[in-house]
């Protein structure tokens, strides 16, 4: 059974601060790592993906991957109230059909 662990939150940060969302996974064969954002009552949408160890930046978002520690994180700089949502981590193995999601971390950005 592949396990994906995320702190369920809620994680509250003030507007303009950095939000740090963390995810650990059990499957050492995982090679692709996705972060999805889900607004309340909506479907998940992909915001970031990372394949290699290290950091990947896209605008205000930075994904960080450490395969040795089986750890992936998402940093949101200059957090905005519109970032308030649940963030889902999804590691997948090479050629894997199955997409396994963490339970998600609920982020609340306080104006």
Partner 1 sequence: DAGITQSPRHKVTETGTPVTLRCHQTENHRYMYWYRQDPGHGLRLIHYSYGVKDTDKGEVSDGYSVSRSKTEDFLLTLESATSSQTSVYFCAISDLLSGNTEAFFGQGTRLTVV
Which residues contact partner 1 (rule: CB under 8 A)? 1, 8, 32, 34, 42-46, 49, 88, 90, 92, 95-104
| Distant-in-sequence, close-in-space partners of 12: CB < 8 Å, separation ≥ 6 | 108, 109, 110
Q: Tell me the C-alpha distance between 85 and 36, whole Å.
A: 10
- The minimum distance between CB 100 and partner 1, in angstroms, equals 7
Residue whose CB is less far from partner 1, 43 or 82: 43
**Shortest distance (Å) from residue 26 CB to partner 1:** 14
The contacts of residue 97 (CB under 8 Å, 6+ apart) are: none
- Nearer to partner 1 (CB atom), residue 11 or residue 17: 11
Of 62 and 91, the one with the shorter C-beta distance to partner 1 is 91
Tell me the closest approach of the beta carbon of residue 99 to partner 1, in angstroms: 5
DSSP 78-110: S--GGG-EEEEEEEEETT-S-------EEEEEE
């Amino acid at each position: 059974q592949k396990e994906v662990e995320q702190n369920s939150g809620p994680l509250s940060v003030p507007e303009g601060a950095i939000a740090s969302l963390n995810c650990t996974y059990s499957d050492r064969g995982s090679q692709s790592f996705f972060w999805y954002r889900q607004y309340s009552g909506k479907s998940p949408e992909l915001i970031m993906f990372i394949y290699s160890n290290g950091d990947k930046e896209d605008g205000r978002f930075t994904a960080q991957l450490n395969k040795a520690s089986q750890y992936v994180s998402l940093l949101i700089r200059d957090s905005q109230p519109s970032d308030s949502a649940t963030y889902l981590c999804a590691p997948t193995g090479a050629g894997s059909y199955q997409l396994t999601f963490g339970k998600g971390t609920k982020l609340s950005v306080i104006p």
